[in-house]
Amino acid sequence: MTLPSTVRRLAALLTVLLVTACTGSGPGGPETPAADRPGDIVVASGRDVTGKNGIRQQLIDDWNRQQEKAGTGYRARLVELPGSADEQRSQLLGALQSGSAAYDVVNLDVTWVPEFAAAGLVRRLPDGVLDGDVIKSVADTARWDDKVYAVPFNSDVGLLYYRRDHLRAVGVPQTDLSTGVDRARLQELIQSLENDPPKGYEQGWTTQLAPYEGRTVNAVEAFASATPELALTDAEGRYVATVEQLAEGIAELRRRTDPPYTLQDAVHSDEGATLADFAAGRTAFLRHWPYAYRTLHQTFTDEQLGVAPLPGRAVLGGQNLAVAAASRRADKATELIRFLTGKESERCLLDAGFAATRTSAYDSAAVKCHLTAAAPSASPTGESADRMPRDDAGRPAYAGRILLPALRSAVQRPRTPLYGAFTQTFTAQLGALFGDRPPSDAELARRLDKALRKALPD
């Protein structure tokens, strides 16, 4: 494609000006004269299915108190979106594209960042918003095309939960698996349980294989475990995998979901269903997210429940905050994001059960949360009901030892502006594996390759 030279020159000029316009000020540059007009800063965020919106609301309330005290005239307002991630994405996309609703700050799933950035729906942010304290793997979810478009708010990573009491009952000498197990050891452990099953026990483990994002997550974990350094897409989001790589990944996914080890219901299960099956004792192992740590400890004691890194590779999840391109209060919105993702806020999120995005939340004695509800202190009556094990500083007990390393070594799902088409295709094609007459690895790999090429055209 050739463009007339004037147009090309103009495009180059625009590029320069745009970068200025979008960043407000370059690193080290002068602050833009305040273009913002005081008023409400609207934060659009999905209804939190883990039921912890409390801490997010409290952080926003805290910021508002500061603004009120300083008399700035700004006030942040949380607008809740539907619980379904598909509906959140649809509303955010449709609203930012058309202007049907006015948002200043949007909370994006990590997989949506490339799409919103590439479409120009969110602003480029100063590089400095991602300082060295943000865990590197997590910080990478906030960039697209080497530029920063978002700031990680809370992270997420796949973990392995297991029943220590069941392992003890069948004579496993070492029931602390927190240093990690590989898939082969996991299968041995499941075999010993098969020989002498606890009451109510059905199969070794369960995970999220229903046809939704959970299946994509589990499949990516299998694919990344089978082929080290596997990339389904390149840095520009173009599809680059080979049929052979897909076949290896499919073989691994098949091994992981074999009927002798995996609860049959897993094929219809989402996060809630797997949590309930594990809590009911139908399996001894469970793949789940960090928030299950708090939930499961309402049912199980420390002696009954263990948590460990997932065998093989684990997928990174989480949400990032971004500034809408059309926001009229972009500078203040950026300031709000800095606050919500700052050291103290991240510590509050960690204490409330989220996976914090900053190293300091896990290891710095100086960083504390001053909001009370994040970690209710023991009551004088002894009736307080927070059963999540905590360390001496009030963090979830497993945070530094298991959660932080898991986040550091987690893999991302493919990063592409066409993620919606990718995940829809990936989930639908892999469904054949769980049908009545599953195709061979090679055959399914060929089909998947063809479908992905159509969904992610060069």
Name the minimum Å distance from CB 373 to another protein: 4
The structure tokens 């299998």 sit at 222
Q: Does the footprint of another protein cover residue 30 (CB under 8 A)?
A: no
The only residue of 38, 75, 118, 243 in contact with another protein, by rule CB under 8 A: 118
Q: Are 338 and 151 in contact (CB under 8 A)?
A: yes
The only residue of 72, 179, 301, 384 in contact with another protein, by rule CB under 8 A: 384
The only residue of 236, 258, 363, 443 in contact with another protein, by rule CB under 8 A: 236
Residues between 163 and 222 with contacts to another protein, criterion CB under 8 A: none
The only residue of 238, 244, 258, 440 in contact with another protein, by rule CB under 8 A: 238
SS3 418: coil
Name the minimum Å distance from CB 445 to another protein: 20
Q: Which is nearer to another protein, 88 or 218 (CB)?
A: 88
The only residue of 21, 170, 243, 251 in contact with another protein, by rule CB under 8 A: 21
The only residue of 5, 98, 174, 195 in contact with another protein, by rule CB under 8 A: 98
Q: Does the footprint of another protein cover residue 304 (CB under 8 A)?
A: no
Q: Does the footprint of another protein cover residue 34 (CB under 8 A)?
A: no
Distance (Å, whole) CA 298 – CA 295:
6
Residues between 355 and 374 with contacts to another protein, criterion CB under 8 A: 372-374
Q: Are 53 and 14 in contact (CB under 8 A)?
A: no
Instruction: To the nearest 10°, report the CA torsion of 413, 417, 419, 420.
Output: 160
Name the minimum Å distance from CB 247 to another protein: 24
Distance (Å, whole) CA 401 – CA 150:
27
| Nearest in space to 442 (alpha carbons), one of 261, 256, 262, 242 | 242
Q: Does the footprint of another protein cover residue 240 (CB under 8 A)?
A: no
Q: Does the footprint of another protein cover residue 80 (CB under 8 A)?
A: yes
Q: What is the 3-state secondary structure (H, E, C) of the chain?
A: CCCCHHHHHHHHHHHHHHHHHHHCCCCCCCCCCCCCCCCEEEEEEECCCCCCHHHHHHHHHHHHHHHHHHCCCCEEEEEEECCCHHHHHHHHHHHHHHCCCCCCEEEEEHHHHHHHHHCCCECCCCHHHCCCCECHHHHHHHEECCEECCEEEEEEECEEEEEHHHHHHCCCCCCCCCCCCCHHHHHHHHHHHHHCCCCCCCEEEECCCCCCHHHHHHHHHHHHHHCCCCCCECCCCCECCCHHHHHHHHHHHHHHCCCCCECHHHHHCCHHHHHHHHHCCCEEEEEECCHHHHHHCCCCCCCCEEEEECCCCCEEEEEEEEEECCCCCHHHHHHHHHHHCCHHHHHHHHHCCCECCEHHHHHCCCCCCCCCCCCCCCCCCCCCCCCCCECCCCCECCHHHHHHHHHHCCECCCCCCCHHHHHHHHHHHHHHHHCCCCCCHHHHHHHHHHHHHHHCCC
Name the minimum Å distance from CB 85 to another protein: 11
Q: Which is nearer to another protein, 388 or 406 (CB)?
A: 388
Name the minimum Å distance from CB 60 to another protein: 9
Q: Does the footprint of another protein cover residue 47 (CB under 8 A)?
A: yes
Q: Does the footprint of another protein cover residue 421 (CB under 8 A)?
A: yes
From 81-89, 214-222, 224-232, 304-312, give the range in contact with another protein by CB under 8 A. 81-89
- Pattern of binders to another protein over 310-339, x per CB under 8 A? ---------------xx-------------
Q: Does the footprint of another protein cover residue 342 (CB under 8 A)?
A: no
Distance (Å, whole) CA 23 – CA 107:
19
- Pattern of binders to another protein over 251-280, x per CB under 8 A? -------------------xxxx-xxx-xx
Binding residues for another protein, rule CB under 8 A, total 100
Q: Which is nearer to another protein, 115 or 346 (CB)?
A: 115
The only residue of 38, 39, 52, 212 in contact with another protein, by rule CB under 8 A: 52
The only residue of 36, 43, 76, 91 in contact with another protein, by rule CB under 8 A: 91
Q: Which is nearer to another protein, 42 or 186 (CB)?
A: 42
Q: Does the footprint of another protein cover residue 89 (CB under 8 A)?
A: yes
Name the minimum Å distance from CB 131 to another protein: 24
Residues between 121 and 160 with contacts to another protein, criterion CB under 8 A: 121-122, 124
The only residue of 264, 298, 301, 440 in contact with another protein, by rule CB under 8 A: 298
The only residue of 26, 29, 34, 51 in contact with another protein, by rule CB under 8 A: 51
